[in-house]
A and B are shown apart, each in its own frame.
Chain A
Amino acid sequence: AQSVTQLDSQVPVFEEAPVELRCNYSSSVSVYLFWYVQYPNQGLQLLLKYLSGSTLVKGINGFEAEFNKSQTSFHLRKPSVHISDTAEYFCAVSDIQGGSEKLVFGKGTKLTVNP
């Protein structure tokens, strides 16, 4: 069964600092990978996704992620964060060939950007 591990439950950073949120997945098959952001009391908004092709994926709000098949990782990065980036971030994975349309989510990383 697939699983997603977000190694850091909380990441505090200062405004304008770079940030990396880590995500590792376990799957023996090809996968689709997603990062979602959730602001308080709201649903999830897609930041970016990896389906195929270039391993460096650029998303909204200046975020990017790199798919590393050998390390089964999909870490999210931003070179300079803003106060408004404070939110919960979820990594998710879905099988390409497993016949399952489900998304498996990690437990989330709470990013707090301090002034």
Chain B
Amino acid sequence: GAVVSQHPSWVICKSGTSVKIECRSLDFQATTMFWYRQFPKQSLMLMATSNEGSKATYEQGVEKDKFLINHASLTLSTLTVTSAHPEDSSFYICSARVAALTNEQFFGPGTRLTVL
């Protein structure tokens, strides 16, 4: 149980285009999802917390207009990188929290974004 999927697993796009990444909880309902960014050989950096039916809460320094997050249902959250640039190239990981469990997060497999 508690499986989280991400799609796509990798994507290459041209500078200036937008890319949407999906995060799904497959066998449970996730009231809260998180989006992280991970640079090579570094830890995870929390970008935003996404609650179903409400606006996402962004961490300091994360541009909300650049990284659009939508959590339209209890099993799906999306991250859209708008007008992507090469510096947005990174590994993006989502996680989902089950309300009944104590802050444990279940992580997706990640999405590798490369912006040319």
Residues of A at the B interface (CB closer than 8 Å) are 32, 34, 36, 41-46, 49, 51, 90, 94, 96, 101-103, 105-108, 110
Are B49 and A32 neighbours in the complex by a CB distance under 8 Å?
Answer: no
Interface size on B, residues (CB 8 A): 24
Main secondary structure of the interface of B (DSSP, over half): strand
Please tell me if B112 contacts chain A, counting CB pairs below 8 Å: yes
Choice from B32, B104, B107 contacting A43 with Cβ under 8 Å: B107
Provide the B28-55 mask, 1 if CB < 8 A to any CB of A, else 0: 0000101000000111101001000000
Please state if A41 and B43 are interface contacts (CB–CB under 8 Å): no
B102 touches A51 (CB 8 A): yes
Check B43 against A105 for contact (C-beta < 8 Å): yes
Q: List B contacts of A103 (CB < 8 A).
A: 34, 46, 103, 105
Q: Mark B68-109, 1 if CB is under 8 A from A, else 0.
A: 000000000000000000000001010101000011111111
CB-defined contacts of A44 to chain B, threshold 8 Å: 44, 93, 95, 107
CB atoms of A43 and B108 under 8 A apart: yes
CA–CA, A34 and B97, complex, Å: 14
A90→B102 contact, CB < 8 A: no
* Contacts known (A32-B102, A41-B112, A43-B93); A102 close to B46, Cβ less than 8 A: yes
